[in-house]
Structure formats: structure tokens, C-alpha cells
Amino acid sequence: MPVPEASGSAESSQVDTIAILMATYNGERHLRQQLDSILGQSVGGWTLHIHDDGSTDSTSRLLASYAARDARIIVHDYSPQHGACANFLSLLQRVNARYYLFADQDDVWHPDKVRTEMAAMRHAETLHPGKPILVHSDLTVVDEQLSPIAPSFFRYSGLHPEYLCSFDKAVLPFVTGCTVLLNAAARQAMQPVPDKITMHDAWATLCTLHAGGEVVLVDKPLVKYRQHFGNTLGARDISKVNVGYRLQHLRRIINEHHAHYQMLRHLGYGSVLKYLRERVRYKLKASN
């Protein structure tokens, strides 16, 4: 069945095949490289939806110039959302599509990112028809000039997403938003969104698993994950996360655990003891 072309309205009733959602804020320094990497994808059939969160630099002018040259880029005009999480969720609420990808403003996508993740999505949908599906991938960690820091974000950060394959075991945010592809059923599973969540990617992962869906790992880097002073979140080198680091950052670590558990609890996860037990089990598996 033909898919109608996307509309530029903030509340479109028409449906994109693939909607790439980008939240921007004062991103002029690296934004052009990211936009070019999206425009250079090896497959089409997508529309890039962007909302700026009230930038004071030249981000808005840069976005307008790209949108004027390419009809696949739609810049949405509505009030600032005051933060990356709320900004991404606002786009997810407004844009109707069959599939959704999240794009940060400062990374660089592999040319085959959309193609590779869509192949994994279609395979998963064949195996699990009608279910919520979230596809994600590894990343290459790079510095501000895109020079390699680590070939695998998972190994660099000490993450083992293969162990976190069910709602009960999803005791830490193991999915990175800029690698995520959702189907419409996963988007529906995220509704309604509570007032306080840590990040859109963690919420999408937990809701997908809670709804009996599938989280599918593409175990290869499809994004150059740029590390710089302005990162909202960033890669944490596991080799430096020793006892001294944990003591120095104890308050932040406790707050991160509390926020993640509150999302789990909102979805009916269970007791803190259950959460701590699964954390220990994950650590034991990951250390083997």
C-alpha cells in the first residue's frame, strides 16, 4: 500500500515510512557533519524531523538552510521543551510513522546505519509479528575531531547487553538512543509517558520489554559517538571506574540507580531487593 508523503505540520495525520527524529540545542559546531551523514545514507524512504530547543547560536539558521535544500528535512516550530529527553519525546508524540530512529546532533552515522537496522527490524518483525521491536547497535567512541578512542562502546563501557534480554533483567540503561530504531508498536507501548523519566532511550527499552516485545542487538558499530565537553551523556571508560571513582561520584551513581528503578517501578517491576538481586546477577555474569 502506498505511504503518503510526510506533512510539515506539527500534528500530522499522515504517515512516514521511516521518521528520523533529531533534537537540537546549540549544536552549530558539529551539526553539519551529522546532517551530511544522514543525507548520505545508502537507503531512502525516510524523513528527518527536527525540533530545536531554543538555541542561541546559529543552529536554527543552519537547519533552515538544509531544509530549504532538501524536502526530506522538516523543521518543527513549537515551544522549547527544556531538555533532550522531553524534546525527543515531543517529536515522537507529534510525528506519525511506521518506524522511528533517534538522532543526536553531534554524532556521525555509518552510511549503512538505516539499511542495517531496518534489515534487523524486518527480520525481527517476521519472527514476532505485531510485537513491539526496538533495534539498537554498538558504537565507535571518538573524540571531538572524530579520532578513534575505542572501537566498541560496549566494551569501553563494560556493558553486556546480551545479558539484559527481559524486563526483569533490564536493571541498567544498556541501549544508546542515537542507535535506536523503533517500530510503531514500540512507540505505542511507551504511552503514556510519566512525568519523570531518565532518558527517552531507557524508557523506550523498558516499555518494549514490559509489553512483551523484543530488543534486538546489531553487534557492530553504526555510529561514531563523539565525546566532547557539551555531551548530555557520554561514554564512561570502565577501566577508570574503580573504587576511588565510585566513591568520588557516589551521589551521582545512587541518583542514576534511583531514577532507573523508578521507571521500572512505574511499570510494575517489583521491590528494590529484586532490583538489587538482578544487578548482582548481571555483574556476576558480566565478570565471567
The 10s digit of each residue's pLDDT in 25-67 is 999 999 999 999 999 999 999 999 999 999 999 999 999 999 9
Q: How far apart are alpha carbons 285 and 288 in whole angstroms?
A: 5
- Please write the tens of the pLDDT for every residue from 69-83: 999 999 999 999 999
Q: Which of 15, 68, 25, 76 is nearest to 50 (CA)?
A: 76
Residue written as grid cell 532518558: 199
- Please write the tens of the pLDDT for every residue from 147-201: 999 999 999 999 999 999 999 999 998 999 999 999 999 999 999 999 878 899 9
pTM, to two decimals: 0.88
Sequence-ordered list of residues with C-beta below 8 angstroms from that of 124, at least 6 positions apart, any chain: 133, 135, 214, 216
Q: 236: helix, coil or strand?
A: coil
Q: What's 9's DSSP letter? A: S
Contact indicator for 213, 121 with CB cutoff of 8 Å: no
Contact indicator for 183, 207 with CB cutoff of 8 Å: no
Q: How far apart are alpha carbons 104 and 122 in whole angstroms?
A: 24
- Please write the tens of the pLDDT for every residue from 112-141: 999 999 999 999 999 999 999 999 999 999
Helix (H) or strand (E) holding 259: helix 250-266
Q: Which of 20, 88, 17, 18 is nearest to 52 (CA)?
A: 88
Choice between 13 and 206, residue whose per-residue pLDDT is larger: 206
Find the length of the chain.
288
Sequence-ordered list of residues with C-beta below 8 angstroms from that of 25, at least 6 positions apart, any chain: 52, 53, 54, 55, 59, 84, 87, 105
pLDDT for the residue 50? 98
Measured from the Cβ of residue 17, the count of other Cβ atoms closer than 10 Å reads 16
Q: How far apart are alpha carbons 91 and 100 in whole angstroms?
A: 10
Residue 70 φ then ψ, to 5°: -140, 115
- Residue 14's pLDDT band, with cuts at 50, 70 and 90, is low
Contact indicator for 257, 280 with CB cutoff of 8 Å: no
- Determine what percent of the chain is predicted with pLDDT higher than 90: 79
Q: Which residues of 144-155 are buried (b: 16+ CB within 10 A; e: fewer)?
A: eeeeeebeebbe
User: Grid coordinates standing for 100?
Assistant: 522511528
φ/ψ region of 38 (left if φ > 0, alpha if ψ in -120 to 50, else beta) reads: alpha
pLDDT for the residue 168? 96
Q: What's 5's DSSP letter? A: P
User: Grid coordinates standing for 204?
Assistant: 523506550
